[in-house]
Structure 1
Amino acid sequence: MTDHPTRGGDLVIRGGTMVDSGWQGPADVWIADGLVKALLSPGEPAPGARELDARGKLVMPGGVDPHCHVGFTSGEFSSLDDYRQCTTAAIFGGTTTIVDFAIPRPGQEPIEAADLQRAIASQGLCDSALHGCVVQWNDTTADQLRCMAAAGIRTVKMFTTYRGETMADEDTILATMATLRELGGMVVIHCESNAIVEDAQRQCADGDKLPASEMAASRPALAETAAVAAVLAIAESQGAPVYFVHQSTAAAVELVADARRRGLPAFTESVAHHLTLDDANYAAAEPERFVCCPPLRARAEVEALGRHLFTGAITTIGSDHCCYDLTQKRSHRHDVRQMPNGLPGVETRLPVIFSRFVVEQGLPLTAFVALTAANPARTNGLYPRKGCLMPGSDADIAIWDPSIRWSLHNENLHMATDYTPYEGLQVTGRPVTVLVGGRVVVHDGELVDDRALGRHLPADPVDLAGLSRQLVGGC
């Protein structure tokens, strides 16, 4: 490096292997005014630019995490991080854009929740976008969705479970899908059949106790596939796009892939913990560390799910980051119906997936970028501003050393909690330098620029055509 990388002015990243979702090879990246100015042949002059040495490294778009819950309140619990803390952890893990959720509290309208959450985006060290949320349709909901779309919030979260809190009925789901279809938006939906879940919980419970060891049995895989099938039918009746969050079984993924082959714009997100961890953790000494919804599945199911990263059936990989700590988890350790559901993961998403699937199983680097950056940007109306390194894109870049071996320990991470579900896991590969808007913010494991310059990103209409092209033929 010829000069300190945080200084202003043009910067060129030299000597690395550039990886985009459609191409990889030797190239230098010239950055100016916070944007990618040009891709250069190796060694090609960039007059007046400082240089950043990336020899032996991979130069990739910063990750786009399509599924983060920041300061999320559910029942009596709120997750513990704010935008500054969440985005700090994100950039250390190579993610440079997060998509948060504005989930209304009881009595709150969707647009109120969205306005409040959007207002705090400036606390972040990187940019963020936002999913709205609809729980119950009323005579103002359509106008609220139009106002939200005008403000750049075009994706709307819905739930088929959590009765009395965030669960939406089928009439509400249909009306929301139909309205968003006309606005260039899309429903993103948590699918578990609430009737099946509640019945399974009754069968697993012993009076007022439903311990974490019973988590997998209390929310069976059948609940997920049943809800996915029902929601696909609603979407197909409206010709509306739909995006399924945190799908945890191969059968659920295959239902969505079959619908896509029929011509329905339907997409699957999986998350890092469902792709790597299994339900044996519920038999361990502290099963509450792994309570998430849907639950972790059997090892054979985890492996079947992971194979769909290679078929193209999975569209994106998120984290479903929920930053609870062990005190919160243990406060209802004998009843998972009361325990906060969710795992911290915004920082570990990319290193865990890179190690498990790129290094160990040969997932192409271009597919890794598609799943963790380009496709999340497309599904959220942010591409090509985010998720790629084409000229004109934001210069959000993760420079990876693909050979570093290291262990995940909570004490060495930056999430606002006291544990990680990956404690002690050895992984290979990590980001060593991270740029946000052309500024080096992490370098050699240190935060070198802590300015809170995060922006709320207004979404364009969802890039359905781009997604369709990207998904043809899988990897």
Structure 2
Amino acid sequence: MKTIIKNGMVVSPAETYEADILIDGEQIRCIGRNLADEEARVIDAAGKYVIPGAVDVHTHMDLQAGSSRAVDDFYDGTVAAACGGTTSIVDHMAFGPKGCDLHHQLAEYHRLADGKAVIDYGFHGVAQHVDRGILDELEAMAEDGVPSIKVYLTYDFRLNDAEAFQILKRMKELGGVTAFHCENHDIVEYCRRTCVETGRTDPIYHAKSRPNLAESEAVARVLSLARLAGDAPVYIVHLSCKESLEAVRDARRKGQKNIFVETCPQYLTLTEEKYLDPDGLKYVMSPPLRTASDCEALWEGLACGDIQVVGTDHCPFNFHKEKQLGKDDFTKCPNGAPGVEERVPLLFSEGVLKNRISLNRFVETVCANPARIYGLYPQKGILQPGADGDLVILDPAAEWTITHDKMHSAVDYTAYEGMAVKGKIDLVMQRGRIVAENGAFTGERGAGRFIHRKCYGAE
């Protein structure tokens, strides 16, 4: 099937221009003015923006976390993603059994996603211990389309500095990227234990027990390890505070390269006051929500390019079920919140239309940069001949309010309930097929394909 998107304002990281887009089968054939083809259906995008299908490289579908499991599987979660303008995800695998190899979880996640996902998807590996076998296996993972791995500096399967350093060195040799969850485990655990022992168990103490400096110290430490490993590519997930951003800037000022930084919509638009609300458990995530000053610092970091990516860390647990495990003690509440559907409209409304970031920076951070860093580009993340026919038609004038009943996730809330938004997604295409239109999912279960990603820098 052929499709022509007519009269839209096409947006790339570098420019915005009026043009038509001809999609032939699954790929973009050409972009130009006054395109015509008798065999093509025509979709009029006059007065609207046409952006690449968004890429979310930080989701947690079907995640097992202790006794709780994220309520979105790869069907529900990717339906929500599609309706929110995201046409590709790269999902972070959960920890597997103690001592398992990397391919154990890769096989498990193929079982969870294959035949369910409605959009294209990839996986990040997860390092939960380090030995010669794991270091050797990283090469086979890259050959299998997984040239990235995540390291946690907190939680049960955290790595110590020596283990993280070995991962960084090996991934640099392979041309891969190592992602880090940066929090100082010992400080966080001490603060959490002290809060519980002194009866401070309300949700606000989730934030107080994970202070900014516990994150920024870990960020600075990871950057030092990456530099010691020969400027190994390092990706900081969900950076949430101004001190962490300054640690990144300091490393770059000293000449360090290959540093990639991600933040999330919740750290740009919500603050720790949410923990004081009666439903404060909805916002228990790690890192926690910060202050308005931190939000402003992150917007500035996005605007100037110090932050390259906006992901979501989508990891939903029902407020009226799993989250209630923390009703008497915040430390018992599973960490995570939904956001895969809200990301694109939120960032456009709060960022572009409030003049915090440019339209082109918006597309850069939700489409092109995540695709480039994690080996999906130029198949994904850009509108150009030869790329997949993944695109979003966005109406910049439409106004609406985010409410749970408009969302498509299986979770029972949205963290952005009642937030007024300007800019609405009219239509979403994946590989030339319409998967969402006017807020309704129109795609097919299992139509998503596994993305065999390339190593960093390979195009």
Fold match by TM threshold 0.5:
yes
Give the C-alpha shift of residue 198 in structure 1.
1.5
1:238 and 1:248 map into 2 onto residues whose CA distance is 25
1:166 and 1:350 map into 2 onto residues whose CA distance is 32
Spell out the pairing of 1:315-334 with structure 2 (5 A cutoff).
Answer: 315-326=308-319, 327-334=321-328
Aligned with 1:437 (options 426, 431, 434): 431
2:96 and 2:39 map into 1 onto residues whose CA distance is 52
For residue 128 of structure 2, give the secondary structure of its aligned residue in structure 1.
coil
Distance 1:230 1:362, change over 3 A: closer
Correspondence 1:22 to 2:29: no
1:419 and 1:104 map into 2 onto residues whose CA distance is 26
For residue 299 of structure 2, give the secondary structure of its aligned residue in structure 1.
helix
Correspondence 1:198 to 2:192: no
- Structure 2 match to 1:12: 4
Give the C-alpha shift of residue 216 in structure 1.
1.1
Aligned with 2:346 (options 341, 352, 357): 352
- Structure 2 match to 1:390: 384
- Structure 1 match to 2:243: 251
* Deviations 1:241-270 (CA, angstroms, capped at 9, x unpaired): 100000001221222233234132111100
1:18 and 1:105 map into 2 onto residues whose CA distance is 43
* Deviations 1:395-442 (CA, angstroms, capped at 9, x unpaired): 110100111111111111101110111111111112110001100111
For residue 413 of structure 2, give the secondary structure of its aligned residue in structure 1.
coil
Letter in 1 for 2:88: T
Give the C-alpha shift of residue 285 in structure 1.
1.5
Give the C-alpha shift of residue 445 in structure 1.
2.3
Aligned with 1:95 (options 82, 86, 90): 86
1:54 and 1:463 map into 2 onto residues whose CA distance is 34
Q: Which runs of 4+ in 1 moved over 3 A?
A: 206-209
For residue 442 of structure 1, give the secondary structure of its aligned residue in structure 2.
strand
1:260 and 1:133 map into 2 onto residues whose CA distance is 26
Give the C-alpha shift of residue 210 in structure 1.
2.5
Give the C-alpha shift of residue 311 in structure 1.
1.1
TM-score scaled by length of structure 2? 0.96
Give the C-alpha shift of residue 209 in structure 1.
6.1
Task: Check conservation: 1:148, 1:154, Cα contact below 8 A.
Answer: yes
- Structure 2 match to 1:161: 154
Task: Check conservation: 1:121, 1:128, Cα contact below 8 A.
Answer: no
- Structure 2 match to 1:297: 290
Task: Check conservation: 1:121, 1:127, Cα contact below 8 A.
Answer: no
For residue 51 of structure 1, give the secondary structure of its aligned residue in structure 2.
strand
Spell out the pairing of 1:38-77 with structure 2 (5 A cutoff).
Answer: 38-41=30-33, 43-77=34-68
* Deviations 1:79-133 (CA, angstroms, capped at 9, x unpaired): 0111111110001100100110123323232221012213423311100111000
1:298 and 1:451 map into 2 onto residues whose CA distance is 40
Correspondence 1:143 to 2:162: no
Q: Which stretch of the first structure deviates more once superposed, 70-79 or 209-218? A: 209-218
Letter in 1 for 2:246: E
TM-score scaled by length of structure 1? 0.93
Seq. identity, %: 35
Q: Which stretch of the first structure deviates more once superposed, 447-456 or 395-404? A: 447-456
Task: Check conservation: 1:383, 1:463, Cα contact below 8 A.
Answer: no
Distance 1:332 1:362, change over 3 A: closer
Aligned with 1:450 (options 440, 444, 448): 444
Task: Check conservation: 2:264, 2:312, Cα contact below 8 A.
Answer: yes
2:356 and 2:435 map into 1 onto residues whose CA distance is 30
- Structure 1 match to 2:167: 176
Give the C-alpha shift of residue 47 in structure 1.
4.7
Task: Check conservation: 2:227, 2:256, Cα contact below 8 A.
Answer: no
CA RMSD of aligned residues (A): 1.5
Give the C-alpha shift of residue 206 in structure 1.
3.5
Give the C-alpha shift of residue 452 in structure 1.
2.2
1:204 and 1:410 map into 2 onto residues whose CA distance is 32
Spell out the pairing of 1:263-274 with structure 2 (5 A cutoff).
Answer: 263-274=256-267
Task: Check conservation: 2:350, 2:356, Cα contact below 8 A.
Answer: no
1:438 and 1:78 map into 2 onto residues whose CA distance is 33
Give the C-alpha shift of residue 450 in structure 1.
2.5
- Structure 2 match to 1:343: 337
1:207 and 1:113 map into 2 onto residues whose CA distance is 39
Aligned with 1:113 (options 101, 105, 117): 105
- Structure 2 match to 1:210: 201
2:114 and 2:59 map into 1 onto residues whose CA distance is 13
Give the C-alpha shift of residue 150 in structure 1.
0.6
Give the C-alpha shift of residue 361 in structure 1.
2.2
Give the C-alpha shift of residue 457 in structure 1.
0.5
Unaligned runs of 5+ in 2: none
Letter in 2 for 1:361: N
Give the C-alpha shift of residue 386 in structure 1.
0.5
Give the C-alpha shift of residue 451 in structure 1.
4.2
For residue 55 of structure 1, give the secondary structure of its aligned residue in structure 2.
coil
For residue 132 of structure 2, give the secondary structure of its aligned residue in structure 1.
coil
1:199 and 1:306 map into 2 onto residues whose CA distance is 31
For residue 374 of structure 1, give the secondary structure of its aligned residue in structure 2.
helix
* Deviations 1:344-384 (CA, angstroms, capped at 9, x unpaired): 00000111111101111252111100000100111111111
For residue 308 of structure 1, give the secondary structure of its aligned residue in structure 2.
helix
Q: Which stretch of the first structure deviates more once superposed, 110-119 or 78-87? A: 110-119
* Deviations 1:291-320 (CA, angstroms, capped at 9, x unpaired): 110000011111122111111100100000
